[in-house]
Amino acid sequence: MKIDILKKAWGNCAMPERCAWLVLCLLHGAVLLGATENAIAADGVKPDLVYHNYCSVCHGDRGDGRSRASSSLVPPPRDFTTATNLTRELMIKTVSDGKPGTAMVGWKTQLSQNEIESVVDYIRDGFMQAAIDPHIARGRGIYLHSCANCHGESGKGPVVADPHGGNATPDISSSQAKSTYTRERIMVAMRQNKHGPVMEAFSSRLPPQDIEAVADYVTKVIMVGTVESISGTYARGIQSKEAADATAVKTDKLKDSLGFPDGLVGNKRRGEKSYQKNCSACHGEKGDGQGPRAYFINPKPRNFTDASSAVFNRPMLFNAISTGKVGTVMPAWSTVLKDQEIADIAEFVYREFIQNAPAAAQNAK
């Protein structure tokens, strides 16, 4: 029986540096929300999807720390391909609880214990082999010295392609390649020169154990494949509270009398400062969703000046900022900001943008 695999709103973040923190929020949120029906099957976890949807945005598709977020995170994301001092137990603890002083947050509130252990094993088996297994490490060294010139460091082929288009080097990094270029076929090709006119036979240059090491490195490290995810708006079958609230009041008039929970009173002036510091990178200084980081976010940040945003009231804004929004990169700020600070931001957004949203949208036409 199929089960619905839906999205999770990211609700944990802690970074001392503002820039790194923002990138983590945006990018972690963008990826952790991705999931498909295949992500967690009824019989267990699909760790490749868990890694792709929750980890690759910082650690890279191949676990080498080469990601879009890496240049903005201090310290940079871990490169698993060179990590030699990480035990399985330490990795499970770090994924569960996070690592203070870095962009690594704890995922135990978002992932099950089974998911955490499975993704750790996936990282160790798929990315850390060259670091923790001398046999694979040797294969990597030989591959980089003897094979990467044609096949590329990642197996996708040379950086500079043949301008004449002849003898194209196949991409051996994809998941499809794993079923075609088996370990045995790779060893035969290396020994007997069977897969291309420019391929040099290695049977007279490398001992059998080195050829095996290269074949093992290619099949266990190079052939990690590409995993795709699909955006959604639910997490484990539970609709986000913000989405439920928005649906409930969608056809109602906005009521200025609705206040914040626990009797909080927002301060617009303080909220403006907090908004510009923490929110404008996505939503823009003018609340139009055109912040400097908006160009690589999908779905795009909320445009508060659009007429569609007029459905929001103070409690809805407070809840959205506090708990994040499933299906978008909007993270939960309740782990970073105090309730009063959230109320201040919500007050600023409501009075500066929401109350003027219909007029702003009309004037833009």
- C-alpha triplet 126, 131, 134: angle, nearest 5°: 105
User: How much is the pLDDT for 251?
Assistant: 35
* Amino acid identity at 322: S
Cα–Cα distance between 177 and 101 in angstroms, integer? 40
User: How much is the pLDDT for 349?
Assistant: 95
Contact between residue 113 and residue 197 where contact means Cβ atoms under 8 Å apart:
no
User: How much is the pLDDT for 324?
Assistant: 80
- C-alpha triplet 270, 299, 14: angle, nearest 5°: 50
How far is the CA of 277 from the CAs of 9, 18, 270, in angstroms? 22, 8, 11
The long-range contacts involving 196-204, CB below 8 angstroms and separated by at least 24 positions, are 196/167, 196/169, 197/167, 198/150, 198/167, 199/150, 200/146, 202/146
User: How much is the pLDDT for 195?
Assistant: 53
pLDDT tens for the chain, 365 residues long, are 333 333 333 344 444 444 444 444 444 444 333 333 333 433 467 888 888 888 887 888 888 888 766 777 778 889 998 887 889 999 999 999 988 888 888 888 888 999 999 999 999 988 888 777 888 888 888 888 888 888 888 788 776 555 555 556 778 877 677 777 888 888 888 887 655 555 667 877 888 999 999 988 888 888 765 554 432 222 233 334 444 444 444 334 444 667 888 889 999 999 999 999 999 988 999 999 998 888 777 778 889 998 878 778 888 899 889 888 766 678 888 888 899 999 999 999 999 998 876 644 444 44
- As separate numbers, helices (DSSP H) first and strands (DSSP E) second, the chain gives 18, 4
User: How much is the pLDDT for 362?
Assistant: 40
- For residue 50, give every residue at least 6 positions away whose Cβ sits within 8 Å of its Cβ, in sequence order, or none: 39, 40, 111, 115, 118, 119, 122
* Amino acid identity at 115: E
To the question of domain 131-221 being in CATH 1.10.760.10, the answer is yes
To the question of domain 240-363 being in CATH 1.10.760.10, the answer is yes
pTM of the model as a whole: 0.46
- For residue 93, give every residue at least 6 positions away whose Cβ sits within 8 Å of its Cβ, in sequence order, or none: none
User: How much is the pLDDT for 95?
Assistant: 94
Query: What residue spans define the domains of the chain?
Result: 18-127, 131-221, 240-363
Cα–Cα distance between 139 and 287 in angstroms, integer? 53
User: How much is the pLDDT for 113?
Assistant: 92
User: How much is the pLDDT for 248?
Assistant: 40
3-state secondary structure 41-97: ECCEECHHHHHHHHCHHHHCCCCCCCCCCHHHCCCCCCCHHHCCCCCHHHHHHHHHH
User: How much is the pLDDT for 199?
Assistant: 61
Same fold, 18-127 and 240-363: yes
Q: What does CATH list as the number for 18-127?
A: 1.10.760.10
